[in-house]
Amino acid sequence: MANVYAHRDLKICSKDCLCLFVCPTGATNNETGQIDKEVCIGCGACMRACPAHAITMLPRQLPKEQEKTEEMIEALKKVIQNKIKEVAILRQLKEKEEDKDKKKLYQALYHSNKVIIEDLYRESGYMTLKSKKAQELLSELLQDVPQKESTIKNLLDKIDDSNSLQKV
Ligand code: SF4
Ligand code: SF4
């Protein structure tokens, strides 16, 4: 059996059934609308025939997750710092820009960079508030950003509450 199988994205599929005609095994012909992974031999004929590009070949075995070393986390933090600077610049650009289309572009870049920052933080071990790193960060912020004390304390209280609920 090939080390890949076909996956159909039902949101894109236009239901023209071309994949059914080209499939040599009948893997695409079932009532769920999903290609049968166990019957698929990974030949890729359906993917090449699909006019909607709704079929993707996926690996049967996903590669092992890369270990996150301290070096990698430090590199992620540097990228985060650069992205934070970019977001600050984009905020100014979008506020000052008078051209409607350029303003929309800056707005979109501003939001997408903020999402990237969130993802990078998650990848650096700050996935949830309860993570040790997130708690350490909040405690540090309590010292460094006293003007946000009530917000930070509120977050720390929430962690305490959820920890004690888990023990009940
Ligand atoms: S990859 Fe080949 S066997 Fe698998 S569903 Fe597509 S046509 Fe059928
Ligand atoms: S060929 Fe593509 S668009 Fe047509 S039924 Fe198959 S997956 Fe859907």
Output the DSSP codes for 44-68.
Answer: -HHHHH-TT--EEEEESSPPPPPP-
Contact 93, 106 (CB under 8 A): yes
Count the domains in the chain. Answer: 3
Q: Are residues 48 and 13 in the same domain?
A: yes
Residue from 13, 23, 32, 53 whose mutation best tests the ligand 1 pocket (most atoms within 8 A of CB) = 23
Calculate how far, in angstroms, residue 18's C-alpha sits from the geometric centre of ligand 1: 12
pLDDT given at position 95: 95
Q: Are residues 131 and 119 in the same domain?
A: no
Does ligand 2 lie within 6 Å of residue 23's CB atom? no
Q: Are residues 138 and 113 in the same domain?
A: no
Reported as a pLDDT band with limits 50, 70 and 90, residue 113 is very high
Q: Are residues 8 and 32 in the same domain?
A: yes
As a whole-number percent, the residues of the chain with pLDDT over 70 amount to: 93
Closest ligand 1 atom to the C-alpha of 36?
A: 5
DSSP H or E stretch at residue 95: helix 70-96
Residue from 55, 56, 57 whose mutation best tests the ligand 2 pocket (most atoms within 8 A of CB) = 55
For residue 147, the enclosing domain spans 125-155
Average pLDDT over residues 22-36: 89
Q: Does 167 score more than 60 pLDDT? A: no
Report the range out of 12-21, 30-39, 142-151 with the highest average pLDDT: 12-21
pLDDT given at position 53: 96
Q: Are residues 106 and 91 in the same domain?
A: yes
